[in-house]
Structure formats: structure tokens, C-alpha cells
Amino acid sequence: MITVDEQTISRLERVLAAPFEIDDARTLARVIGGALTSENVYAEQIPLAAEDFRDGLLMAFEERILIPVRGRGSGSSWEDRLLRFTPAEMFFMPHVARIFFENAAQTGVMDAEAAVRAVLSHHPARHVDQAVAFLKKMKPHADSCVAEGGLMVEVAKKAGITTDVHDIVDACVIGGIMSPCTRGFATQGFAWYEFHPCIYWDPQFG
């Protein structure tokens, strides 16, 4: 089990207390504190009490904080990952979440825009500005952090986003800001995407 500095846990807990109940915030703070110590983390390394192990991992997966490395077939989407409650299960944290929580662990505040900009920093400044504006405009339309591709195009058009939405989406998927949905909607013939919850926990982002 990884030992995490209690000040780090306290700062993370303070940030998580806004979107979560205090007990859940405490549990997730320990999960995140352990996961930030390396690129990938095994379940047995996460500093959770035995009685919190299953609920903590499940909550971290549902909030897309920890994503199992193993998945169903060759799919790379978050929803295609298979959660197993075993000590040897390996997880990773999506890039935007890692930046978001690294900043929160140091400052004790959430800053979704800073995390998004850091993840997309290798793109031209205008592309980053347009992506940030697009993500903010999508906030009220992302029901349970999920939205359909056609709606995304319409929202971008009405918001005056001139960068191709497909280019924004591609960059966001690579950066762990979004993930394609591969199950549940396929029969409807639409493309759906899941936005990482952490970017919409911040009330200043949007």
C-alpha cells in the first residue's frame, strides 16, 4: 500500500467536498493521492481500508478517476473497461484528471480550465482557446457528462466556434478529456461522447 502525505489528502478532500458528500470525498482523496504517485497503480497499492476497498474503487471508476487497464476486446473507451475487485488489478488516470488533481493536491482548489489548457498545450493557442470555449458551452448540454455528436456540432455553431468540432473532439479524446461511447447508442446510428466529470465539477468552468 502506498503512503500518501496527509496534507495532500487534506487538500484533495477540500476540493472534492464541493461535488461529493464528505465521506465520499475522503475516500476519493485517498484513492487519488495513491494514484498520483505513478503512471499506473495496482488496486493493492491504493491506501484504502479493507471495508472501503470495493466501494472506493467502484466510485473512482464511475467518476472516471481510475480506469482499468484491461478492457473488453480492443475497445479503448472508458465504458469498455472491465472493473475487477482484485489486488492485482491495474488502473490509470485519464490525462486531464491527473493534471486536475495534481494541481488540486498542491493548491487545494479546483481549476478545470488550467487542466484542459495544460493537456492541450501542444496545440496552437487559437485551437486551445476554441476547445475551451466549446467545452464550456457544452456543459449544460452534457447530460450525465454524455452528449451526441450532432448536438455538439450545433452547440459549436451557435457559439461561433470556427475550429472543426471533429478536430476538437480528436484532441480531447487523446487528452483524456472525452471518450467515445461504444455501447448503448450504437443501434441508434449516432456518435456519442462522454466528457470527463472533473472538468464540470468546477463552477467557474462554464
Q: List the domains of the chain with CATH numbers.
A: 6-93 (no CATH), 112-201 (1.10.10)
Torsion of CA 125, 130, 127, 110, to 10 degrees: 60
Q: Using CA atoms, how far apart are residues 76 and 107, in angstroms rounded to an integer?
A: 32
Which one-letter amino acid corresponds to residue 190? F
Phi, psi of 121 (to 5 degrees): -60, -20
pLDDT number for residue 188? 53
Answer yes or no: pTM beyond 0.95.
Answer: no
Which residues of the chain fall below pLDDT 70?
72-75, 183-189
Spatial separation of the C-alpha atoms in residues 146 and 193, rounded to whole Å: 6
Evaluate the CA torsion angle 64, 69, 70, 71 in order and state its sign.
positive
H or E segment at 194? strand 192-195
What are the beta bridge partners of residue 41? 91
Spatial neighbors of 86 by CB under 8 A, at least 6 apart, are: 43
pLDDT of residue 187: 47
In the Cβ-directed half-sphere of 61, how many Cα atoms lie within 13 Å? 24
107, 7 in Cβ contact below 8 A? no
Q: So what's the pLDDT on residue 18?
A: 95
Q: Which three cell numbers stand for residue 22?
A: 464528505
**What's the order of all strands across the beta sheet hosting 67-68?**
40-42, 90-92, 67-68
3-class SS of residue 184: coil
- Give the Cα separation of 160 and 176 in Å (integer): 24
